[in-house]
Structure 1
Amino acid sequence: MIWLLNWSTLAAFGRQTPFILEGHQVAAGTKASFDLPVVAPSKDSTYIPVTIVHGKNPGPVIGLIAGIHGFEYPPIIAMQQMARELHPDSLRGTVIIVHIANVKAFFGRSVYYNPVDGKNLNREFPGNKNGSLTQCIAWVLSQQILPRCNYLVDIHAGDASEDLHDYVGYYALGEQAATAKQMAEALGFDWIMKSEAGFVKGEPTVYCSKEAVAQGIPTVAIECGKLGGVSTAEIKKINDGLLNVMRSLQLLPGTPVMSNKPLEITKRTTLNSEHTGIFYSHCKSGQLIRAGMKLGYITDVKGNWLTDIYSPVDGFIVYQIATPPVNKGEILFNLGSL
């Protein structure tokens, strides 16, 4: 099969071949958009909209996935712009753009979960072709998209209830780690989250990024945007970073622009609510905090005080719940420790 040939071998001959994905053939130097169907055994169905930008010249394949969570809009709008503006004539290699991985959640305006089966797609990898619709989506991404990629960027934002400071994350695991760190730094964000969480053989990978790493693909995750909104600045930040990554990986011509060395955060602390009630925060994402500092408080629905929330660490607020309702067990704050 043509797509199994090593791209560097093809580059040596200066020859680009068609790119084939699930029966769709894309000629060198062209773009094509199509839908990948997803049908569960229950007969619930959806689709994954994809654009392939296939360069005029041979090179590696990078996957860009947006819309794992349907209410995280900046990545989705950024990928629309990327698909319009990325020109195959200047591209060495191929870009696979997944516009919206979770279409049902997007059109259902559903925070975190697919409204069809109530599952969080980013907790279901590597998926199950015999499972519910969300599990089938994860399976299609894991089996049809990820194996075609030499590199992957999993693009997220703060969901509708999350006030989040933009950052990039990567796994410091295996042979992909050095390249993943290079990709993370090329994105130009001021915070990088490094995770050393490993894999347990036979257990689910759970997250899209972790599944890609398990397949040996150098992978980074973007978090850019918050509270279900979309801004021109967020779209530009995402796409400028992605284009710089493509330069650093030599898919695009030009020298990558490397910003000042980002802050690398290697330890994070999560504060979960011990009550169901109404949450009041004194803080904002990105804020510097000290151990023992009061971050907010919770009341019951009648306004009676239940508890105060204090920081256990010196560090920064990575993200927080920024809407009033909170359920017992939900995350109130995610903190990056100094």
Structure 2
Amino acid sequence: MKILKEEILPGESKTINMEIAKLHTMTKLKIPIIVERSKVQGPTVLLTAGLHGDEINGIEIVRQMIVQKINKPKIGTIICIPIINVFGFVNQTREFPDGRDLNRVFPGSKNGSLASRFAYYLLKEVIPHVDYAIDFHAGGASRFNAAQIRIAPNNPELRDLASIFNAPFTLYSNNITGSFRNSCDKLGVKMLLFEGGKSIDINEDVTQKGIEGTKRVLEHLDMLNNRKKAISAESDSTYIEKSTWIRAKYSGMFHGYTPIGSFVEKGQLMATISDPYGKIEHKMKAPNSGYIINVNEAPIVYQGDAIYHISTELEKK
């Protein structure tokens, strides 16, 4: 296996620093690619996070994989990139310094924008070696995602992998043009996209769900280190075929009463939006029965803001 002209032999551990650009201070910016290879041939799994620099919970999940030595495979190879967008991580922002969302510029260009160049080298140098990938994300702004796996519909192999990961929720979600997941799919990599928590935050429960789900996938591939044990999930994942955002009809102070992951009945009181002077209070009721998979935890909202993400259609068993 050769990445960025560095060879990694079977049984070898190596950290390769991807240096594509410098900060405007001319300081080198290194993106560590942590490779662990078994002496026994097998599949290659890629674990990535920090595609959006402010989604720290995903970074914590991959960091824990390394700290706990889950990334040392029994067979095959595990590649960890805890932070893809180091620029964003340093500045605690979602985007690259050029203002672009890295997850919308794939497959990128060798001579394009800064974000586009990173996308290009990631696909050129790393992805050709990869069979399976799990990319870890979190909700944007103040929106907290329930731990969930997102997969493209009508893909039985991904459906099987998602059932093995067994997150509390599994959403069918079409690949988006320009996304990392879409490019990986076109290159034959079977990717699970994990969402959980919110930006600029680390949630212990979400972290553990991400770690345990990954261990179950590695065990299924016979890659999990013999010193580690995969724990079965408490219950089977709920599969959501369709969902929608409930948006604020008014601006004001937001008081949410509906916990993440809960099931609500149509017409159930979910939240209130009030003025700060104690005169007006608007009630928000569930437009349909469904599971709440994202909650806006902001104390103040504007009209049109996304407040809750609710399932509208579950997979028929």
Give the alignment's TM-score, normalised by structure 1.
0.78
Q: Among the aligned pairs, what percent are the same residue?
A: 24
Q: Which residue of 1 aligns with 2:165?
A: 187
Q: Which residue of 2 aligns with 1:29?
A: 11
Post-superposition offset of 1:269: 0.5
Q: Residue 89 and residue 61 in structure 1: after superposition, are their counterparts in 2 closer, same or farther (change >3 A)?
A: closer
- State how 1:7-26 maps to structure 2 within 5 Å: 19-26=1-8
- State how 1:282-297 maps to structure 2 within 5 Å: 282-297=257-272
What CA distance in whole angstroms lies between the structure 2 residues aligned with 1:220 and 1:135? 22
Q: Which residue of 2 aligns with 1:113?
A: 95
Q: Which residue of 2 aligns with 1:178?
A: 156
Q: Which residue of 1 aligns with 2:77?
A: 94
Q: Residue 22 and residue 242 in structure 1: after superposition, are their counterparts in 2 closer, same or farther (change >3 A)?
A: same
What CA distance in whole angstroms lies between the structure 1 residues aligned with 2:197 and 2:276? 29
What CA distance in whole angstroms lies between the structure 1 residues aligned with 2:14 and 2:269? 53
1:48 equivalent in alignment to 2:31:
yes
What CA distance in whole angstroms lies between the structure 1 residues aligned with 2:271 and 2:161? 36
1:239 equivalent in alignment to 2:220:
no
What CA distance in whole angstroms lies between the structure 2 residues aligned with 1:65 and 1:21? 16
Q: Which amino acid aligns with 2:128?
A: P
Corresponding residue to 2:195 among 217, 223, 228: 223
1:63 equivalent in alignment to 2:35:
no
Q: Which residue of 2 aligns with 1:319?
A: 294
- State how 1:99-178 maps to structure 2 within 5 Å: 99-110=82-93, 112-114=94-96, 116-159=97-140, 161-173=142-154, 177-178=155-156
- State how 1:68-87 maps to structure 2 within 5 Å: 68-86=51-69
Deviations 1:205-229, CA, capped at 9 Å, x for gaps:
2322222122221111112334633
Q: Which amino acid aligns with 2:20?
A: V
Question: Is the contact made by 1:123 and 1:207 (CA closer than 8 Å) also made in structure 2?
Answer: yes
Deviations 1:260-299, CA, capped at 9 Å, x for gaps:
4321111110234566655443322112223333433446
What CA distance in whole angstroms lies between the structure 2 residues aligned with 1:150 and 1:298? 47
What CA distance in whole angstroms lies between the structure 1 residues aligned with 2:20 and 2:275? 42
Post-superposition offset of 1:153: 0.5
Q: Secondary structure at the match of 1:237?
A: helix
Post-superposition offset of 1:304: 7.7
Question: Is the contact made by 1:159 and 1:228 (CA closer than 8 Å) also made in structure 2?
Answer: no
* 139-148 vs 26-35, greater mean Cα deviation: 139-148
Q: Secondary structure at the match of 2:127?
A: helix
Q: Residue 113 and residue 128 in structure 1: after superposition, are their counterparts in 2 closer, same or farther (change >3 A)?
A: same
What CA distance in whole angstroms lies between the structure 1 residues aligned with 2:269 and 2:37? 52
- Measured on the aligned residues, the alpha-carbon RMSD in Å equals 3.1
What CA distance in whole angstroms lies between the structure 2 residues aligned with 1:242 and 1:206? 25
Q: Which residue of 1 aligns with 2:309?
A: 334
What CA distance in whole angstroms lies between the structure 1 residues aligned with 2:29 and 2:281? 43
* 247-256 vs 215-224, greater mean Cα deviation: 247-256
Q: Residue 273 and residue 246 in structure 1: after superposition, are their counterparts in 2 closer, same or farther (change >3 A)?
A: same
